[in-house]
Structure 1
Amino acid sequence: MNTHHAVTELSRLTLGFVPLTDAALLVIAREGGFFADQGIDVTLSRENAWSTLRDKVAAGLLDGAQMLAPMPLAMSLGLGRAPCDTLAPITLSRNGNTVVLSSSLCEASGAALGDDPAASAKALGDIKRRDSSGHRPRLAMVYPFSCQHYQLQDWLALGGLDPQRDVELLVLPPPRMVEALQSGTIDGFCAGEPWGSLAAHRDSGRIVATGDQLWPGQPEKVLGVTRSWVHRYPATLAALLRGIAAASDWLGASPEHSRKARDWLALPPYLDHAVCHLDDLNLNHPPIAQQLYGEGVLRPSPTLAERFAEHLQRHLSQHGRRLDLATLSECYSPVHFDAALHQ
């Protein structure tokens, strides 16, 4: 049944996503008909690298996209590319990241997942300090301006490790993490699901810490759209937000819906075989505790951006700049969310 509230400026649009379980709300909204209920036909375009997705949104080749939570702010500030004012009018997920070390490194160091993420970080730090060869573990993250990068830095610091001096950090797209770990190209990574649990399933790596342990309840993915797009297509944005919110409500209504969502994610255009080790989306369960539904989960807020904003401020200060708090507030303002959902 078509339940859209207003005529939208666009009837067809394309959103980008990176193959991760927290693309689920976009996939559910498309496959479950929640976008169609709002009178919009949404195509989802799989992008394997965050930088590619970012540039396509900025160039107008995508109407919007699933984005890393810090990405709209980084784009607006001109970090990593020319400035492009970008907004995050809805949160798509909270938590969901894992820190993974190779099985061989875990065995050598004793690093393991426990209640305190500092224990595994200290285990890595201890073996690094005992190693006189000068070898630096190679650890991958998904994008320089990401919660994965910042959570990995914070985890290393718990073990007394300097990210610049004691390890080698490199950027890899999430779908390449497990393969790189298996081949020995990297010694560990921090990425969103399903890549951490897939590494553990294949016995090529072990989860030693999670984003929920390091930054509990942190917004992880958002819908990112340029400010000019929002001004040009306000009714279309409202329809998108209502469709995503309906998908979230549906997902939280029944455990069976989590299994159905997993089946949709396993379709070839989305995550394909990368989720075959999962029976469902395994939401809200520790230690990963990924959240895609629940009271207040989707509503953006500048306050919830403060943790990664601190890391961005450190980066800016190294270049003689300061974080523009007005830009921060605009990026993560709930004004569009509240208007669309009548909050």
Structure 2
Amino acid sequence: MNRTMNTTDPLTPEAFGPPEKTPIRLGFVALSDVAPLAVARLFDLGRRHGITLELCRQPSWAAVRDKLLSGEIDAAHALYGLVYGVQSGIGGPQADMAVLMVLNRNGGAITLSNALADAWRATGSLKDAFASLGRAPVLAQTFPTGTHAMWLYYWLAAEGVHPLRDIESVVIPPPRMVDALAEDQLDGFCCGEPWHALAEARRAGRTVALTSGIWPDHPEKVLASRRDFVSLYPNTSRALVQTLLEACRWLDDPGHLGEIAAQLAAPGLLNVPRELIEPRLTGVYDAARFPDALPVRFFDGGTVNYPRASDGLWFLTQYRRWGMLEGAASDDAAIAAAISQTNLYREAAALAGVPLPNEHRSAILCDGRAWDGSAPGAYLAGFDVRA
């Protein structure tokens, strides 16, 4: 692999001094969307910004949380919902958290066992397919407040299945999902790739939904840290965002996605064959099953990475929907605004020559409901299926 790359020389305003902390430990879980961190480390992109990166693979999202809180890692490739769960005190010990930037959109899926997928196809009703088991199906997600739990719950509710009453929801780290499904410990799971591709390759189950079909171009992983890290090391944090913006920009080239897939296959990253990583990383899905599949997006001309408070606010609405978060919702918008490090991102984007997207965006989710962050109370009140 050619280890040289062209980047636009960023401006260096005199207002910003050198990084306060130069070696940075970045946590991650083995998923294909860790690609920006892998690119940044492979090309040593932080060097030009005065930082060095060490990637620290973690066995689970709980381990990422614990090491962020203890300071064993400085920042992490993290579930959007992990950040909001910790901030809210419902996903572990409460701590003030920060989202420095979004690392990607899309890229997750839901896989069911072969028997359950067949039953759904035969009956045309997911609820009837589950009933054919004669027991509550066991479905896994990766963190109680994480993106995968929220995508799974939202999809189930849209399909007429109550996620708190009609299934047994369990937490399993992504790399263990396929074995658990193959050993009949699970009836299905929701997580990121390449674990769905591996499940199909092992004939353990079939992918039945993409998370991009639940919320088209949904936010997925973020660059997260404790908020006091940003306060103590603002120049370091800015340099880290610049570095990962450059990595995401490099991944905008489809040819580069194939290139990094070979690196992701390494034992220290995913330890999964390249041929199982590359197709779905590059947006290749079975067109008969997924005619409207959206690819994982890391940059998309700079539209992906802005840390919108409205994206995070959506997770708070879902926590309230499912009875995970109580109390007044009047502070939710302020909480989301405090987590989203928009000023830091704007500075880093200007230095990296990355255009800023629109502050607001809207989407129609799989149940036909629109979300744009403008009226979270009314949005929450409109759900028929709630805890």
Could you state the TM-score of these two structures normalised by the residue count of structure 2?
A: 0.80
**How far 1:158 moved relative to its partner?**
2.4
Aligned to 1:25: 36
Q: Deviations over 1:6-58 (max 9, x none)?
A: 52111212010000011110110110221222221110000021011101101
- Is 1:161–2:169 an aligned residue pair? no
Aligned to 2:310: 303
User: Is the Cα contact below 8 Å between 1:259 and 1:279 reproduced in 2?
Assistant: yes
| Closer, same or farther: CA 281–260 of 1 in aligned 2, 3 Å | farther
**How far 1:183 moved relative to its partner?**
0.7
- Hey, what's the Cα distance between the residues in 1 that align with 2:294 and 2:207? 10
- Is 1:147–2:155 an aligned residue pair? no
Aligned to 2:379: none
User: Is the Cα contact below 8 Å between 1:101 and 1:188 reproduced in 2?
Assistant: yes
**How far 1:153 moved relative to its partner?**
1.1
Output the amino acid matched with 2:74: D
- Hey, what's the Cα distance between the residues in 2 that align with 1:274 and 1:307? 35
- Hey, what's the Cα distance between the residues in 1 that align with 2:345 and 2:181? 39
Select which of 123, 130, 135 maps to 2:125.
Answer: 123
Contiguous gaps of at least 5 residues in structure 2:
285-291, 351-355, 357-387
| Closer, same or farther: CA 175–232 of 1 in aligned 2, 3 Å | same
Could you state the TM-score of these two structures normalised by the residue count of structure 1?
A: 0.90
Aligned to 2:376: none
Aligned to 1:212: 212
Aligned to 2:34, what secondary structure does the other structure show? helix
- Hey, what's the Cα distance between the residues in 1 that align with 2:254 and 2:326? 48
- Hey, what's the Cα distance between the residues in 2 that align with 1:179 and 1:326? 42
Aligned to 1:70, what secondary structure does the other structure show? helix
Aligned to 1:61: 72
Aligned to 2:207, what secondary structure does the other structure show? strand
Aligned to 1:176: 176
Aligned to 1:326: 334
Aligned to 2:296: 290
| Closer, same or farther: CA 247–281 of 1 in aligned 2, 3 Å | farther
- Hey, what's the Cα distance between the residues in 1 that align with 2:80 and 2:141? 15
- Hey, what's the Cα distance between the residues in 2 that align with 1:88 and 1:230? 10
**How far 1:172 moved relative to its partner?**
0.4
Higher relative contact order (Cα pairs below 8 Å, separated by 6+ residues) = 1
Q: Deviations over 1:187-222 (max 9, x none)?
A: 100101111122112221111111111111111000
Aligned to 1:240: 240
Q: How does 1:73-84 map to 2 (within 5 A)?
A: 73-84=84-95
Select which of 326, 335, 339 maps to 2:347.
Answer: 339
Aligned to 1:115: none
Aligned to 1:269: 268
| Closer, same or farther: CA 335–8 of 1 in aligned 2, 3 Å | same
Contiguous gaps of at least 5 residues in structure 1:
112-119
Output the amino acid matched with 1:278: I
Select which of 44, 52, 60 maps to 1:41.
Answer: 52
- Hey, what's the Cα distance between the residues in 1 that align with 2:268 and 2:129? 42
Q: Deviations over 1:66-119 (max 9, x none)?
A: 1101222221221232211010010011111101101122123327xxxxxxxx
**How far 1:332 moved relative to its partner?**
2.0
Greater shift, 267-276 or 188-197, is seen at 267-276
Aligned to 1:277, what secondary structure does the other structure show? helix
Output the amino acid matched with 1:44: L
Aligned to 2:231: 231
Output the amino acid matched with 1:264: Q
- Hey, what's the Cα distance between the residues in 2 that align with 1:126 and 1:136? 12
**Structure 1 vs Structure 2 CA RMSD:** 2.2
User: What is the aligned-residue identity percentage?
Assistant: 32
- Hey, what's the Cα distance between the residues in 2 that align with 1:168 and 1:315? 15
Aligned to 1:94: 105
Aligned to 2:258: 259
Greater shift, 34-43 or 55-64, is seen at 34-43
Aligned to 1:114: none
Q: Deviations over 1:285-305 (max 9, x none)?
A: 552521112131011101222
Aligned to 2:364: none
Q: Deviations over 1:137-159 (max 9, x none)?
A: 11000111012111111211222
